[in-house]
């Protein structure tokens, strides 16, 4: 009660609609329970999907690792040397045969720039063709002498959007044999052409195989 100058008054605060308030409270409580249950089910579903996704990711990783091991095994069985570089010219793969021309070893070569590992290659035909393969995305073949190693190499370059895969082999023995054959042919031609008279050879089919210059003029 509160005393007022004009008399004694009693003030009360009461709800005008008690039934409606009770209904609202029950409704809100029910909706809260439904929402909580829905959120719980959603969280459970999300957790189960997360576990399934993790399981699928693990399976894909295992399959990828297996494929990479099989690829590496296959590449190591190839007698040609094989290396791969990315778009930044950094080594991403070397097979066993390629270690002969990479004395730093596989671990110390991977991720290094090819021009840093072989600085003598700068300005060479190999560098020019590698850049051309990246730009044109066309397969390149190179046969050239590499002076720093005193070696003739035959190289096949396979480009991709990710970089280059390079197959190469030492063909120095073949080039040496070719030079020897060319030298012997020059010598034999010189001997035949210095012979007096006409000289010629033919095979079993009657086709001429060799002859001297006198034969051509008679």
Q: Could you tell me if 86 and 163 are in contact, meaning their C-beta atoms sit under 8 angstroms apart?
A: yes
When comparing pLDDT for 13 and 84, which is higher? 84
- pTM, rounded to two decimals: 0.56
Q: What is the dihedral of CA 44, 45, 50, 55, to 10 degrees?
A: 110
pLDDT of res. 183:
83
In this predicted structure, the answer to whether residue 108 has a pLDDT above a threshold of 90 is yes
CA–CA gap between residue 166 and residue 170 (Å, rounded): 13
CA–CA gap between residue 82 and residue 94 (Å, rounded): 6
In this predicted structure, the answer to whether residue 204 has a pLDDT above a threshold of 70 is yes
When comparing pLDDT for 38 and 170, which is higher? 170
**Considering the chain, what is the average pLDDT of its residues?**
82
pLDDT of res. 164:
95
Mean pLDDT value across residues 169-197: 82
Q: Alpha helix (H) ranges present in 78-171?
A: 106-109, 114-117, 125-136
In this predicted structure, the answer to whether residue 50 has a pLDDT above a threshold of 60 is yes
* 3-state SS, residue 164: strand
When comparing pLDDT for 22 and 53, which is higher? 53
CA–CA gap between residue 202 and residue 196 (Å, rounded): 19
pLDDT of res. 209:
74
Sign of CA pseudo-dihedral 55, 60, 63, 65: negative
């Amino acid at each position: 009660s509160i005393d007022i100058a004009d008399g004694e008054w009693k003030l009360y605060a009461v709800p005008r609609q008690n039934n409606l308030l009770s209904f609202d409270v029950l409704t809100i409580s029910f909706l809260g329970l439904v929402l909580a249950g829905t959120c719980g089910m959603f969280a459970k579903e999300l957790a189960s999907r997360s576990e399934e996704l993790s399981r699928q990711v693990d399976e894909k990783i295992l399959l990828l690792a297996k494929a990479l091991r099989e690829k590496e095994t296959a590449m190591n069985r190839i007698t040609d040397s094989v290396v791969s570089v990315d778009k930044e010219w950094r080594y991403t793969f070397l097979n066993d045969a390629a270690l002969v021309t990479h004395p730093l070893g596989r671990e110390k070569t991977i991720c290094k720039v090819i021009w840093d590992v072989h600085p003598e290659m700068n300005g060479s035909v190999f560098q020019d063709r590698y850049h051309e393969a990246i730009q044109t995305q066309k397969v390149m073949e190179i046969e050239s002498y590499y002076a720093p190693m005193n070696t003739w190499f035959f190289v096949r370059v396979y480009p991709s959007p990710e970089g280059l895969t390079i197959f190469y082999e030492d063909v120095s023995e073949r080039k040496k044999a070719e030079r020897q054959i060319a030298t012997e042919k020059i010598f034999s031609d010189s001997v035949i052409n210095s012979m007096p008279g006409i000289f010629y050879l033919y095979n079993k089919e009657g086709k001429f195989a060799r002859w001297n210059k006198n034969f051509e003029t008679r």
